[in-house]
Amino acid sequence: MKRTAASRDNAGDDAKRAKVLDAPKELGDPYVIGTNSVGQLGRGLGCDHRRKPTPLAGSLEGKKALDVCCGGMHTVVLGEDGKVHTFGCNDEAALGRAAKGEDEMTPGVAGGLEGLTIVKVTAGDSHTAVLTTEGDVYMCGLFRDDDGAIAFSDSIERQVTFAKVFPPANGRRYRQPPTAADIASGSNHLMILTDAGKVFTLGNGRQGQLGRLTEPQTQRDSCRVTRDTPEWVVKRRTSSSFLKRILTPQPVPRIKQVTKIFATTWGSYAIDAQNNVWAWGLNNYFQLGIKRDEEQSADVEANCVFHPQKADNIPQGTIVEVAGGQHHTLFLMGDGKVYALGRGESGCLGQGNEQTQSSPVEVKALADKKITSIGAGSVTSYAMAADKAFAWGFGENNQLTAASDEDVLVPMEVTGSRIEGKRLAKIDGGDQHAVMLAV
């Protein structure tokens, strides 16, 4: 039975609750661009890359979609049939199905979600997550850190088909199980926003992106091996207690009445009911919007923010969306303007150069475009308006629809014969590819 507002965790007033996402109703055509090195374009063998928006094959051939997203090297599409279709790298079970070889290079239906209504899909390097209308979160794959693969949970090495991760199994300590209202995936962490305005996190926290652990607590500890210790846990060189600490969804302290969440590669953002922006995670290029001491730049604590801090170095005004990649961040404002911050490599800040920006700068080329949504890949940036979409940044992987593979230092219009006359509702980038939804 669907949990109602009256039966949910009652922290905060109903008026300050985050709204549980409705099932998407706007159908669009999914297209892909970029490099197809591991099948992330869903075109099977014989496809090296695509510069222009290209339709999908397999289970999505000729089909429309409700939502799309990119993992690092895989792609996820919520089809018009309500099923989750996946393709690309499946080395660590991020596709949610037991696909190998050519099978993982074309779209196929993920398992473990039968009978559920999905409202949103998100993905990272080695995981995929979905949110249901019931306020539950399911995930497949695993998380990684600087030392390699971690696990899916303290008892499961990798999850081949989708399994529920939220509400957490220890949810019985709550008076009522919490209800998820939204989700956001970083490279190797997952954020969950509840309808009560709380934020839960799980995954790798080495760069501070979990927002609830100290730096030493994010490091793998030694494993005391007994005859009952699973071999895969021993291989991870850590303990089950460490795995439980980082892989069980737990609330982030210091913030409440949160209404929106966003994740970048190694960063986390939360906007509360008072329009305060909170940030935590990697900040080595000022990308969090939090000032830091450059003289201590070699120190982990100086480069990373391990607990939520109020972002004090962000654009003034109402921030509607946040998107970003490895070292850069975009902010979409209520007036349709876009600001950029962080490392400017390959022109991903849209400033006509590659300079790092320690304070937010407006993307002037978009000043009169009335942008309605933004997106990003690892080193690419995207902006959507009512009639056009724009892309800029790293060009070598053909993620921009440009005629060449050179970097694009200022926003250029996204083009292609298949999207002429259509509105691009969403563009999401991975490491070497991008997926878009044209309506």
Q: Which domain holds residue 215?
A: 5-438
The amino acid that residue 124 corresponds to is G
Tell me how long the chain is: 439
> Letter for the amino acid at 19?
K
- CATH code, domain with 177: 2.130.10.30
The count of C-alpha atoms lying within 13 angstroms of the C-alpha of 190, restricted to the half-sphere facing its C-beta, is 35
d(CA 355, CA 345): 7
pLDDT of residue 295 exceeding 80, the answer is no
pLDDT of residue 7: 41
Instruction: Assess whether pLDDT exceeds 50 at residue 281.
Output: yes
CB count in 10 Å sphere of residue 232: 12
CB 330 within 8 A of CB 348: no
pLDDT value, residue 300? 61
Q: Residue 368 is encoded by which pair of tokens?
A: 């009169």
163: β partners: 139
Instruction: Quote the percentage of the chain above a pLDDT of 90.
Output: 82
Characterise 258 by phi-psi region: left (phi > 0), alpha (psi -120 to 50), beta (else).
Answer: beta
What b/e readout covers 383-398, taking b as 16+ CB neighbours within 10 angstroms?
A: bbbeeebbbbbbbebb
State phi, psi for 170 to the nearest 5 degrees.
-85, 15
Instruction: Confirm if 72 and 187 have CB atoms less than 8 A apart.
Output: yes
Contact 35/275 with Cβ under 8 angstroms?
A: no
Answer left, alpha or beta for residue 386, where phi above 0 means left and psi between -120 and 50 means alpha.
alpha
- Going from the C-alpha of 384 to that of each of 162, 190, 413, the distances in angstroms are 31, 25, 10
CA distance 204 to 144: 6
Q: 148 burial class (0-12, 13-18, 19+ CB within 10 angstroms)?
A: exposed
Helices (H) and strands (E) in the chain, counts: 3, 30
Cβ atoms of 313 and 323 within 8 Å: the answer is: no
Give 361-404 pLDDT, tens digit per residue: 999 999 999 999 999 999 999 999 999 999 999 999 999 999 99
Can you say how many angstroms the Cα of residue 434 is from the centroid of all Cα atoms in its chain?
13
Q: In sequence order, what DSSP letters do the residues of 403-439 get, joined into one string?
A: SSSS-EEEEEE---GGGTT--EEEEEE-SSEEEEEE-
Position 238 scores a pLDDT of 78
Which contiguous run of DSSP H or E holds residue 247? helix 240-247
Integer Cα distance of 236 and 33 in angstroms: 36
**Cis geometry, peptide bond prior to residue 30 (ω within 30 degrees of 0):** no
pLDDT tens for 221-260 read 866 667 777 777 667 677 888 999 999 999 999 999 999 9
User: Using one digit for the tens of pLDDT, what is the confidence trace for 101-127?
Assistant: 999 999 999 999 999 999 999 999 999
Residue pLDDT, tens place only, 9-48? 444 444 456 777 777 878 999 999 999 999 999 998 888 8
Question: Alpha-carbon distance 204 to 181, whole Å?
Answer: 22
Total domains in the chain come to 1
pLDDT in tens, 69-85: 999 999 999 999 999 99
**What would the two tokens of residue 143 be?**
């998380």
As a whole number, the mean pLDDT across the chain is 92
Closest to 323 in 3D by CA, of 311, 310, 341, 343:
341
In the chain, % of residues over pLDDT 70: 91
CA 278, CA 123: separation in Å to the nearest integer? 22
pLDDT for res 221: 80
Start-end of H helices in 36-96? none
C-alpha closest to that of 136 among 118, 112, 123, 158: 118
